[in-house]
A = this chain, B = another copy of it.
Amino acid sequence: MGRRRKHWGWGYEDEQPSAQELRSQAAFISQHLGFGSEVPAQAVPLSEVSLPPPSLPVPESLAPVCTTDVYERVLHAYGRSYRDVVRAFGGRFDHPPDVVARPRDERELESVLEWALGADAAVIPFGGGTSAVGGVEPAVDRERFAGVVTIDVTAMDRVLEIDRTSLAARIQAGASGPALEAQLREHGLTLRHFPQSFEFSTLGGWIATRAGGHFATLYTHIDDLVESVRALTPSGVWESRRLPGSGAGVSPDRMLIGSEGTLGVITEAWVRVRERPRHRASVGVQFPDFLAGARAVRALSQSGLHPSNCRLIDPAEAALTGAGDGSSTLLVLGFESAAFDPVAWMALALECCADHGGTWEVSERPDQAVGNWRDAFLRVPYVRDTLVAIGVLSETFETAITWDRFEAFHADVLARTAEAVREVCGAGSVTCRLTHVYPDGPAPYFTVLGPARKGAELEQWAAIKAAASDAVLAGGGTITHHHAVGRDHRPWYDRQRPAPFAAALRAAKRELDPAGALNPGVLVD
């Protein structure tokens, strides 16, 4: 065994800050925000957590890959949303799995799946466990299922094959971001899919949830980096051909991508990799206000320049992350290439920014604001643990909308969410950044912070989530651009999708998984 993950929050147990560090963080944060306690609470230790006894006996043949250990059941009881961390922090585990399986290869996975289905158990496919939307919580109908088996695929974490010529790699579903990047790096290659959860989330999880990554344009979702997928379904192996492109009917891959564990357990995929970038250009562009910045981003998104980074951060969010003083909007603009120096690209992009009132400093050193923002971005999941400890409610939600509706949508979602925050918390902030952009519209990402009331955090969260989601749907957006649907977004997802599509998806699910055992409650009932 290596390092153990924290049972209630982000990161490893040995990364938990000391009491003194926590107090100093708490003082800094609460002073900056104007709310939150300066005295961090303590998480309920694992030793004080008690779970109901597992309702499924593990067959002897599967004993080497299955466990009913409390730590493992606790670790697999939740993802890592605010709602999850609050409950885990408080020692409350609503729906722990009965058994956690960690198969080491596909054959073991198949045996576990066969046993679980035969035992009338529900099955939760589990990668890094970083879901922000209740995607892996075994909240299943206990009347209907004899128990829950969570299948953790992280023991299957190898890069199995490299195709240098086609720039593709066959990678097991359980490989985390760092694990697969380390293996690719040996070949001078990289996938360059860097979601905020990168440290723990897995390739299989990214594909199952249509994760959004590093690239602000073109390759925004993992979808476009997938060449073929292999999954075990209750009705057999689903494996597509390795094809750079195809027009043969409905895309099999696109039916599996985003299926969130409801159709099968993804075991491996061929993905498109690339040579590590040798040339990089990055500039922090300041705009007098967010909407001016958004107009520049719109022009960039429609220019055909395809920047690799094009994140627009509103003044309040820039200030939160030390990337600004709260007076101006920051555009983090970047180009990168393994083949050529993107200097001509950056020059044209900056011209475009200047047309919309953007200013920047020419400097040999990396931009300070950009660096601060990147560091803060990577720290966010860790900071969230501290926020929970000091009674700060934090929630993020993200969407996409066409440009014609963006300004009104942005204003309305901000206003309605801020109103909910005021009502529910009495104080707090709602900020926005654009994480990904398309020629026809941006993906806005909102961050909510507010004072939490001890014991009422979940109700506060639910009220704000509902107000924000209602506003997103009413304005024509999508309930999620890359966080997935999970269990938290189901009510809005159901309103959003075309009814005949929902019927078709239900039928497809029923065909492959007649018992409805795979991740019940997600996407379809």
Task: State the A residues within 8 Å of B (CB).
Answer: 163-168, 209-212, 218, 220-221, 227, 233, 235-252, 254-260, 263-264, 272, 274-275, 298, 302-306, 337-340, 344, 348, 352, 400-404, 436, 438-443, 476-485, 489, 493, 496-501, 503-512, 523
Interfacial chain B residues near A209, Cβ < 8 Å: 247
Q: How far does the Cβ of A230 sit from chain B's closest Cβ, in whole Å?
A: 9
Can you list 15 residue pairs at the A/B interface with Cβ under 8 Å?
Answer: A163-B404, A166-B441, A211-B247, A235-B500, A243-B400, A243-B478, A244-B401, A244-B442, A248-B485, A248-B496, A250-B256, A254-B255, A304-B338, A339-B352, A507-B507
Interfacial chain B residues near A275, Cβ < 8 Å: 302
Would you call A252 and B511 a contact (CB within 8 A)?
Answer: no
Interfacial chain B residues near A274, Cβ < 8 Å: 302, 439
Would you call B221 and A247 a contact (CB within 8 A)?
Answer: yes
Would you call A404 and B481 a contact (CB within 8 A)?
Answer: no
Contact of A254 among B247, B254, B272 (CB under 8 A): B254
Provided the pairs A244-B401, A496-B241 are in contact, do residues A250 and B438 lie with their beta carbons within 8 angstroms? Answer: no
Interfacial chain B residues near A240, Cβ < 8 Å: 497-498, 501
Q: In chain B, what residue has the closest Cβ to A339?
A: B303
Q: In chain B, what residue has the closest Cβ to A351?
A: B340
Would you call B255 and A250 a contact (CB within 8 A)?
Answer: yes
Q: How far does the Cβ of A220 sit from chain B's closest Cβ, in whole Å?
A: 6
Q: In chain B, what residue has the closest Cβ to A223?
A: B251
Beyond contacts A238-B499, A246-B400: 17 other A-B pairs, Cβ-Cβ < 8 A, are A163-B402, A167-B302, A236-B499, A244-B400, A245-B443, A246-B478, A246-B480, A248-B258, A248-B497, A250-B259, A251-B254, A252-B501, A254-B254, A263-B500, A305-B339, A344-B344, A504-B508
Interfacial chain B residues near A510, Cβ < 8 Å: 507
Complex CA distance for A167 and B404, rounded to whole angstroms: 9
Would you call B227 and A272 a contact (CB within 8 A)?
Answer: no
Interfacial chain B residues near A221, Cβ < 8 Å: 245, 247
Complex CA distance for A273 and B210, rounded to whole angstroms: 25
Interfacial chain B residues near A163, Cβ < 8 Å: 402-404, 440
Contact of A348 among B237, B254, B339 (CB under 8 A): B339
Would you call B168 and A440 a contact (CB within 8 A)?
Answer: yes
Complex CA distance for A87 and B220, rounded to whole angstroms: 47
Would you call A498 and B252 a contact (CB within 8 A)?
Answer: yes
Would you call A304 and B439 a contact (CB within 8 A)?
Answer: no
Q: How far does the Cβ of A522 sit from chain B's closest Cβ, in whole Å?
A: 9
Q: How far does the Cβ of A234 sit from chain B's closest Cβ, in whole Å?
A: 9
Would you call B247 and A212 a contact (CB within 8 A)?
Answer: yes
Complex CA distance for A478 and B243, rounded to whole angstroms: 7
Q: How far does the Cβ of A244 sit from chain B's closest Cβ, in whole Å?
A: 3
Q: How far does the Cβ of A187 sit from chain B's closest Cβ, in whole Å?
A: 14
Provided the pairs A168-B440, A243-B441, A511-B503 are in contact, do residues A249 and B481 lie with their beta carbons within 8 angstroms? Answer: no
Q: In chain B, what residue has the closest Cβ to A259?
A: B250
Interfacial chain B residues near A248, Cβ < 8 Å: 258, 478-480, 484-485, 489, 493, 496-497
Complex CA distance for A404 and B238, rounded to whole angstroms: 23
Would you call B247 and A481 a contact (CB within 8 A)?
Answer: yes
Q: In chain B, what residue has the closest Cβ to A306?
A: B306
Q: In chain B, what residue has the closest Cβ to A212?
A: B247
Would you call B259 and A249 a contact (CB within 8 A)?
Answer: yes
Contact of A238 among B255, B501, B523 (CB under 8 A): B501
Would you call B238 and A498 a contact (CB within 8 A)?
Answer: yes
Contact of A167 among B244, B400, B439, B485 (CB under 8 A): B439
Interfacial chain B residues near A220, Cβ < 8 Å: 245
Q: How far does the Cβ of A293 sit from chain B's closest Cβ, in whole Å?
A: 16
Interfacial chain B residues near A499, Cβ < 8 Å: 235-238
Q: How far does the Cβ of A323 sit from chain B's closest Cβ, in whole Å?
A: 25
Contact of A500 among B233, B250, B503 (CB under 8 A): B233
Would you call B436 and A245 a contact (CB within 8 A)?
Answer: yes
Complex CA distance for A251 and B223, rounded to whole angstroms: 10
Would you call B523 and A339 a contact (CB within 8 A)?
Answer: no
Would you call B476 and A242 a contact (CB within 8 A)?
Answer: yes
Instruction: Return the 7 tightest CB-CB contacts between A and B, nearest first.
Output: A244-B441, A507-B511, A244-B438, A504-B508, A254-B254, A210-B247, A246-B478
Q: In chain B, what residue has the closest Cβ to A505?
A: B250
Complex CA distance for A238 and B500, rounded to whole angstroms: 6
Q: In chain B, what residue has the closest Cβ to A343?
A: B344
Q: In chain B, what residue has the closest Cβ to A168?
A: B440
Q: In chain B, what residue has the closest Cβ to A506?
A: B511
Would you call B167 and A247 a contact (CB within 8 A)?
Answer: no
Would you call A250 and B246 a contact (CB within 8 A)?
Answer: no
Interfacial chain B residues near A404, Cβ < 8 Å: 163-166, 168
Q: How far does the Cβ of A316 sit from chain B's closest Cβ, in whole Å?
A: 24
Interfacial chain B residues near A238, Cβ < 8 Å: 498-501
Complex CA distance for A256 and B503, rounded to whole angstroms: 13
Q: How far does the Cβ of A81 sit from chain B's closest Cβ, in whole Å?
A: 16
Q: How far does the Cβ of A241 sit from chain B's closest Cβ, in whole Å?
A: 6
